[in-house]
């Protein structure tokens, strides 16, 4: 599979950890210029070499539209355009609890980061992509958004909203050269998963027919394909990365 990103400009949110981190490294290795967005700027400095020609660290809270807008402008000023946006910033919020136990504040926080964050960034990059007649947006959703994980109402519902947004955006921009897709991974061992209660992780892992977790490499490979120029006739779609859990 040919997925060179030579001279393309990508913004990756949540780039300091887990999926965002490996995806950012893959795109960098394949020739992209990358805007690395995260609230945790110290972790970005530890995880990247800070190649001044290729990387721009941006301290961004994706829930803040003004900060997102400023960060996007910073990348355009630095690298001249935006070809790719990959939304990896996300949290699970409280898990292993039933719906009647959910704290509304926690529900709002999860939606703010998982849904509004992806909305804010896509809204900010779209005018630049439309002006260039080219773009690839990838929202990292979750199998939880397709299937609904018991014990994870806020997370599952926020990811279902992300999947809905990808469907809408895919149709809205279908004739513009900009594609918008989502990805629904099952369990991939990252700090996000390590922070969850063991029983919740067991529940999710037991449902994977391949009887194993996905790897970071598998996630990076699929993400890179989704945002490649070669992936040109698919939009509004949620790709599967679940070891057979979802066959739709």
Binding track, positions 165-204, relative to ligand NAD; x by CB under 6 A? --------------------x-xx-xxxx-----------
- Catalytic-labelled residue, pool 155, 173, 203, 248: 155
DSSP for 156-197, please give it: HHHHHHHHHHHHHHHHHTTTTTEEEEEEEE--B-SHHHHTS-
From 86-94, 100-108, 167-175, 227-235, span contacting ligand NAD (CB under 6 A): 86-94
CB of 198 to ligand NAD, least distance (A): 14
Question: 142 near 184, Cβ under 8 Å?
Answer: yes
95 lines the binding site for ligand NAD (CB under 6 A): no
121 lines the binding site for ligand NAD (CB under 6 A): no
Of 2-41, which residues contact ligand NAD (CB under 6 A)? 13-14, 16-20, 38-40
Question: 7 near 31, Cβ under 8 Å?
Answer: yes
CB of 6 to ligand NAD, least distance (A): 26
Q: Give the one residue of 11, 24, 32, 60 binding ligand NAD; rule: CB under 6 A.
A: 60
- The total of other beta-carbon atoms located within 10 Å of residue 223's CB is 28
CB of 183 to ligand NAD, least distance (A): 8
Of 218-237, which residues contact ligand NAD (CB under 6 A)? none
- Which residues touch 100 (CB under 8 Å, ≥6 apart)? none
Catalytic (active site) residue 155? yes
Question: 44 near 218, Cβ under 8 Å?
Answer: no
Question: 1 near 25, Cβ under 8 Å?
Answer: no
Q: In the Cβ-directed half-sphere of 34, how many Cα atoms lie within 13 Å?
A: 30
Question: How close are the terminal C-alpha atoms of the chain, in Å?
Answer: 23
Residues of this chain that interact with ligand NAD (CB under 6 A) are 13-14, 16-20, 38-40, 60-63, 88-91, 113, 117, 140, 142, 185, 187-188, 190-193
Q: Which residues are catalytic?
A: 155
């Amino acid at each position: 599979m040919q997925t060179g990103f030579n001279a393309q400009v990508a913004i990756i949110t949540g780039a300091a950890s887990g999926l965002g981190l490996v995806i950012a490294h893959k795109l960098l290795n394949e020739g992209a210029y990358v805007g690395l967005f995260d609230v945790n700027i110290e972790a970005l400095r530890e995880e990247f070499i800070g190649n001044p020609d290729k990387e721009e660290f941006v301290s961004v809270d994706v829930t803040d539209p003004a900060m997102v807008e400023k960060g996007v402008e910073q990348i355009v000023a630095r690298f001249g355009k935006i070809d790719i946006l990959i939304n990896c910033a996300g949290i699970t919020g409280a898990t292993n609890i039933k719906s009647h136990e959910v704290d509304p504040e926690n529900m709002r926080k999860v939606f703010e980061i998982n849904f509004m964050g992806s909305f804010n960034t896509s809204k900010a990059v779209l005018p630049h992509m439309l002006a260039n007649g080219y773009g690839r947006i990838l929202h990292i959703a979750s199998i939880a958004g397709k299937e609904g994980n018991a014990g994870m109402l806020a997370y599952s519902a926020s990811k279902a909203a992300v999947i809905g947004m990808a469907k809408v955006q895919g149709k809205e921009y279908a004739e513009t050269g900009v594609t918008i897709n989502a990805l629904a991974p099952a369990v991939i061992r990252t700090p996000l998963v390590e922070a969850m209660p063991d029983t919740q992780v067991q529940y999710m892992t037991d449902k994977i027919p391949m009887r194993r977790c996905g790897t970071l490499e598998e996630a990076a490979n699929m993400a890179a394909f989704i945002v490649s120029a070669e992936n040109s006739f698919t939009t509004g779609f949620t790709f599967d990365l679940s070891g057979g859990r979802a066959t739709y």
